[in-house]
Amino acid sequence: MLFDYGGIMSTIGFWQMAGAFDSGDYLDVDPQNMLFDYEGTPLVPLSGSIIINSSANWSISLIPSWVDVSATSGNAGTTVVNIYPQPNERTTQRNGSFKITSGSNVVWVFITQYGTFYY
């Protein structure tokens, strides 16, 4: 989540567990909120990657047209996926999200990218 405190942006990340552990069916994604500058450099977290940990094969869908990802599907276990937003030449920030699905579990990752106005 992004919060604006008098012009100072602050991000709070949440770790979400989708699915019930007692069934052995899970999907963990960290982080679920990402912030990039207008050039696509990661600001929060300082890595442009997400870590997917799942009990089953997973897939990423509904990716915004201005975002590239290093993988759109993978096997059960732990996988690092790099996120590459294209440069934002607009003055305003843009927001997007994509969906990660594993079995019946769904987690959304939210991306904010500053525009050139912020610099």
List pLDDT tens digits, range 67-102. 999 999 999 999 999 999 999 999 999 999 999 999
Whole-prediction pTM value? 0.78
Q: How many domains does the chain have?
A: 1
Range of the domain at 58: 2-118
- Enumerate long-range contacts of 60-69, CB under 8 Å, 24 or more apart: 60/98, 60/99, 60/100, 61/98, 61/99, 61/101, 62/97, 62/98, 62/99, 63/98, 64/96, 64/97, 64/98, 64/111, 66/94, 66/96, 66/113, 67/96, 67/98, 67/111, 69/98
Q: How confident is the model at residue 117 (pLDDT cuts 50, 70, 90)?
A: confident
The encoded tokens of residue 55 equal 């009990």
CATH number reported for the structural domain that contains residue 104 in this entry: 2.60.40.10
